[in-house]
Amino acid sequence: MANALVNRAATVNQATSYVRFSFSFLRNLSTATPTNNPSTTSSADRPKKPKRKKKKNLFEVAQFLPNWGIGYHMAKTHWNGVSYEITKINLYKDGKHGKAWGLAYKDGLPIADAPKKMSGVHKRCWKYIANFKKAEGSLDQIKKAEESSPNSDVQAA
């Protein structure tokens, strides 16, 4: 009985050694023939393309500004001369979504007196305007100046 167990263990050891030998032979065979085919070169050998920088939505831009960007000017990247001064932000729990209100500016002048809800705040195209320069005078002063100036078309004969 003990003799049968010893013989059985010996045959199992021989079988595993044959399997190991065959795997090592195949491994050596596959790595022993280096080819210089450009289609089979590894991706580490090729020069890497720079990754495209992921654009940010309004809340991802505002999170690094003091007080979540309230009082700062932001605009979409494709806007020219148009921006919003953030007046209120309603932020959702994840910190990347929410609602925002602001005063719209065009060429440094406010478009309206009251803040309005900003559209497209979740789109990934927002930028912070660091050195925003407001035009001289406010919207009320400009309107008064336009009203007080005499118009030649309106004058009676």
81-135 pLDDT, tens digit each: 899 999 999 999 888 899 999 999 999 899 999 999 999 999 999 999 888 777 7
CATH assignment of 58-128, among 2.30.30, 2.60.40, 3.40.50, 1.10.287: 2.30.30
Phi, psi of 90, deg, nearest 5? -110, 105
Q: What is the DSSP string of 86-114?
A: EEEEEE-TTSS-EEEEEEEEETTEES-SS
Residue 119 is predicted with a pLDDT of 92
- Residue ranges of the domains in the chain? 58-128
More confident residue, 90 or 46: 90
Q: Count CB atoms within 10 A of the CB of residue 129.
A: 15
Question: Which pair of structure tokens corresponds to residue 41?
Answer: 């070169």
Predicted TM-score (pTM) above 0.85: no
Tell me how far apart the alpha carbons of residues 72 and 131 are, in angstroms, rounded to a whole number: 10
For residue 113, which of 133, 147, 90, 141 has the smallest C-alpha distance?
141
Mean pLDDT estimate for the chain: 78
